[in-house]
A and B are shown apart, each in its own frame.
Chain A
């Protein structure tokens, strides 16, 4: 069997059964990387030597029975905003071009413990700010389905790497849709967990109150297995939550009988591509046919999500990115006169246009005289959005809708009109504002041959419901597609 056709969990099972070795799996991945990477550009940094070294050690441990987990021996790609000890972590920014962390992110350590083997660091929008992976300082990533198109973003490198078979699964981060939207554009599964489920320690912060790390995988079963591995209560992260229900793979059940699913009418209004709309409705019908109770409802405040998100995320980002100043690590301007000139030149040269735009926006909404009118008001709206979801989840187990208004745009189409690009986040960002879990999974292909994503949203800590419904849908969908 072609090794690359395995899912992550299947591969690990095959390795443990002695059918294939972790080193052979790594060889297959690198053969694919050699073939595709020059076009796709999914990675910023690849450490081939280290990957094979770790694969060899991992194989020995598996043979000795020391590693038995569901991901043991599986090659993984890590988004480049997750710190990796000894391996440079750039956030796809020039300002961190030579930054090598002294420690690894908690989620990365959890994967190491599970026996997954890191291939390298994936490309992203600079500091996770963008929806196309075009704002990277290290070149655009191309959508493996059609290389004229973007892979989405900001975790575009991770999604493209999974879709192209350049890894078996990947980690991404999601502040306003950055896992779910690229998963949708690249035809893979992506999950943003409930805020606090995965430790943020070692994730270079963008919008701290919204950021969550999550999996990008080939299918729902892998998604559950990866989430199970990375979810942990971490005392190093004050916002980390202690959960006892992280056995997510127990929710891989093909059954949605009696599950109540709400479809917000507000998600199907103007701006939604008709092909996307049809595919998402078809998915809802499939779930209804499997026994789910599906109905439409009005989710209020949808139109306020975008301004609220861009106020809060930009405010936090403007402060989070202050530490990149050329003093302690990273890029420093070559010539300058005095401290303030050094700050100015370093940051002017080190940050890209989109990052600067959000720093300015964030600094503005926090500045004296505007704080109440913008930032504080945004926090109030955020609380109201959460309340609107609470009301919805009093009636429904899940909310179903599209991930993005369209399929992947062409490279170069988005950045000229940032406001339009921001509007593309409309269906994903309220999930972050409310701290909820959301999953994106494939539900069709449009006439351009590009994948369409289906989004399911659950109440806080209800990932198992998401996984069960997604898994059930995937069973039917996969059969149709094959």
Chain B
């Protein structure tokens, strides 16, 4: 019988923190500036410049640590990781090796196999590098230091995961935590969240781990899933044919769906880590720690439980709404204005999700305000607009966050509630459609639908369907 193999996976996840300024200087972290415009002597490694720690980075790292049940290292230090590469202006990266800010945490995940805990080995703070751009035409490389010094945290898990499904559940969980904390945008495809996968295989029941490889360049959940499957297969094949797995770093090519070796352990660099003498140790007082603890937000699980108690909406809806902090905030703020959780939920679950999917957007990209959504709900409630018109208005609101009340006024979309005018139109519709009238009178109840439709068309949609039905039945 063929041997059964188990996959053992640990993750190193880099999260770019959403601070306004860089970790060791006052330069902006904003995306999209012209090359080397968000730079200064510190983040370009000019001689004589010195780093000064941005305290907000420590706050954010601590918040993530507390949310992942870590122990906070109240006396922590920064170390230099030395390696030569042009994207790294000092030729050393300021990171944490010996005393990382968070250690020994865990997060709970849930998959089709059930619930489980994934250990967090450590979380450390470090700086991002610049970006190298190769100019094929001029045959030279250019470097942009705008990203140099952007703060990162690296979350290192224990080798506790056994499948791609667990890996995705773990990443989703981290993303949720980070998003709820508001410490990062956490977008895999934009690089604000990056995952390296450490993977080994062993025979089921084995006590020790096999030799692992590290895979880099995984920028989507899809890539991660495929890379895990591919690497598992590659390693098993090596073992089955009597070969050995080499400890090495491999780069995943998502278009070719193949990974290739970048460097092996033999030519692994010696980073010569040592404490950075330019930075003083970070001492986190009990008061500081407590302050961060007190400022922790309500996380998803607590939010779901509260919604269940407070709002009469389906559990499924609660799950979807709380899946995004932004959506949940939008929900709560709108409910606070209009007091109608069910209706707010319907707009979010229905039209909002439909448009997000259609436009391939994330909930974080929603631009309309809770005030405007509440106004739209008010317009429908007061029968100022009917539901069809409301959906049209919503679509405009979704795109540009317009004020629906003003919009209705400007475009003349108010429902006509003048029964006299309606009666006149309906009389014309009846006159123009004798066949349908006859069918209805002959007992075909469905025929009235056609007549309602014709009336709405003649009214350009601005009629209350209830009133149309009522008047139609009277006249027929």
Contact = CB atoms under 8 A, between A and B. Distances in A.
Given A89-B47, A339-B86, A327 B274 contact: no
A416 interface: no
B272 A367 contact: yes
Interface string A225-246: 0000000000111110000000
Interface string A184-210: 000000000000000011111101110
B89 A319 contact: no
A200 B84 CA distance: 25
Given A238-B52, A322-B90, A325-B91, A209 B46 contact: no
Contact of A238 (B45, B90, B92, B278): B278
Contact of B45 (A200, A201, A318, A323): A323
Contacts of B41: 102-103
Nearest to A235: B52
Nearest to A362: B272
B274 A366 contact: yes
B51 interface: yes
A69 interface: no
A155 B90 CA distance: 25
Interface in B44-80: 44-53, 80
B48 A204 contact: yes
Contact of B272 (A236, A237, A363): A363
A385 interface: no
Contacts of B280: 238-239
B50 A322 contact: no
B143 interface: yes
B50 A323 contact: no
Contacts of A102: 41, 46
B55 to A, nearest CB: 12
A343 interface: yes
B270 interface: yes
A371 B273 CA distance: 9
Interface string B266-282: 00001011100111100
A209 B277 CA distance: 5
Interface residues of A, number: 43
A339 B85 CA distance: 9
B309 to A, nearest CB: 48
Contacts of B49: 201-202
A368 interface: yes
Most buried by B among A82, A207, A323: A323
Contacts of A316: 274, 277
A16 B80 CA distance: 49
Contacts of B50: 200-201, 236-238
Interface in B116-156: 143
Secondary structure at the A interface, as helix, strand, loop or mixed, is loop
B86 A319 contact: no
Nearest to B25: A236
Contacts of B84: 322, 325, 343
Contacts of B80: 319
Nearest to B26: A236
B261 to A, nearest CB: 19
Which of B50, B51, B143, B279 gathers most chain A CB within 10 Å?
B50
Given A322-B84, A323-B90, A325-B91, A371 B274 contact: yes
A204 B45 CA distance: 11
A22 interface: no
Contacts of A239: 277-278, 280
Given A238-B53, A319-B274, A205 B91 contact: no
B8 to A, nearest CB: 25
B47 A101 contact: yes
Given A236-B52, A319-B272, 17 more contacts: A83-B47, A91-B47, A99-B47, A200-B50, A201-B49, A205-B47, A237-B52, A238-B51, A238-B278, A318-B272, A322-B84, A322-B90, A323-B47, A325-B84, A325-B91, A327-B143, A367-B272
23 contacts: A83-B48, A89-B47, A96-B47, A103-B41, A103-B48, A205-B47, A205-B278, A207-B277, A209-B277, A237-B50, A237-B52, A238-B52, A316-B277, A318-B82, A322-B91, A323-B47, A325-B84, A327-B86, A328-B46, A328-B89, A329-B46, A366-B82, A375-B274
Interface of A: 82-83, 89, 91, 96, 99, 101-103, 105, 200-205, 207-209, 235-239, 315-316, 318-319, 322-325, 327-329, 339, 343, 363, 366-368, 371, 375
